[in-house]
Amino acid sequence: MKNVLLIGCNGQMGKVVQEAIATHPDVQLVAGFDRLATTDNLFPVYQDFNEITESIDVVIDFSHHSMTNNTLEYCVAKKLPVVIATTGLSPEIMTAMTAASKEIPVFYSANMSLGVNALIQALHKIAPILEDDFQIEIIEKHHRFKKDAPSGTALLLADSINEVLAQPKEYIYGRSGNENENAMSEIGIHAVRGGSIPGEHTVLFAGEDEIIELKHTALSRTIFANGAIKAALFLEKQAAGLFSMNELLNEN
């Protein structure tokens, strides 16, 4: 049984992770960290890392990206593996994450869904085949409360495509105006926000007289929580380093 510290425990995703951990046989939630104090939790919730006294085996961070540097500093100081599931990370935070991974195991993915990461592996296979003859568009849909656009997953999908192309494409964020060329050298990325959509991502390959669509739909946020727990258990067997869903999916 691994003891988990959950950063952002009282946020939307934090509450989902709480529920997922409560039913998992291999992990238990022993402490949380959140900017808001509360008495509703069945575990202590802190606003200061220095006050945490529980024995921690692994940290899961689903908080706001403004907390990520503090989380990394705490984990490096305590030599704790950490799963970073926060999106909207700046280049500076990514650099800090890489530096931390030289001292502790760090797992990062812009999307913790196993299905999305299986989709990425499929894109790696088909994108080079279609590169010269198909235009590529990515459409992502999320709930009305999501702050960042495009989503981290949309960018992850676009980056995954560009990784395997002979000629990487330029990202165009939305299209407007009357003189769009829609060049083959572009990937269009489009964001939709509304209602309570947990997450939907479609990669559209449009050729002459034929269309291929690869689509992933999240029916609940539980898939992201379960992925983060799998990542946390994966880290217990790892030395210092930076890991992603690619390593987890190819573990066996």
Whether residue 128 is preceded by a cis peptide bond, meaning omega within 30 degrees of 0, is: no
Element (H, E) at 224: helix 222-235
- What whole-number distance in Å separates Cα of residue 155 and Cα of residue 131? 18
Of 141, 146, 190, 230, which one is the catalytic site residue? 146
- What whole-number distance in Å separates Cα of residue 76 and Cα of residue 208? 52
Of 2, 141, 142, 230, which one is the catalytic site residue? 142
* SS3 of residue 137 by DSSP: strand
Contact between 189 and 135 under an 8 Å Cβ cutoff? The reply is no
147 counts as catalytic: no
Structure-token pair, residue 113? 């869904």
146 counts as catalytic: yes
Catalytically active residues are 142, 146
